[in-house]
């Protein structure tokens, strides 16, 4: 059975996984801190809009014409 210290590729793989996890956690922390300090900005300005709704009965002539 091999000694764990002689398996350099296992240590290299563990080091790569650890560095990836460390980079991910660091990026998440930096993103969270920057988002917390920045004021929320609206991407699109709100404009008032009008909405018109027309009700059509089944007895109306417009409904008969459409169908």
| Separation between Cα atoms, residue 13 and residue 64, nearest integer Å | 74
| Separation between Cα atoms, residue 37 and residue 54, nearest integer Å | 47
Per-residue pLDDT averaged across 8-24, rounded?
A: 93
For the whole prediction, is pTM greater than 0.85? Answer: no
Asked if residues 33 and 27 have their Cβ atoms less than 8 Å apart, the reply is no
Total number of domains constituting the chain: 1
Element (H, E) at 8: helix 8-37
Does the residue 61 lie in any domain? no
Does the residue 60 lie in any domain? no
Backbone angles phi, psi at 31, to 5 degrees: -65, -40
> Is the model's pLDDT at 66 over the cut of 60?
no
Does the residue 4 lie in any domain? yes
Range of the domain at 33: 1-54
């Amino acid at each position: 059975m091999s000694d764990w210290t002689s398996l350099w590729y296992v240590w290299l793989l563990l080091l790569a996984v650890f560095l990836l996890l460390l980079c991910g956690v660091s990026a998440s922390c930096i993103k969270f801190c920057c988002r917390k300090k920045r004021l929320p900005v609206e991407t699109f300005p709100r404009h008032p809009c009008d909405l018109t709704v027309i009700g059509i009965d089944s007895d109306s002539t417009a409904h008969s014409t459409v169908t």
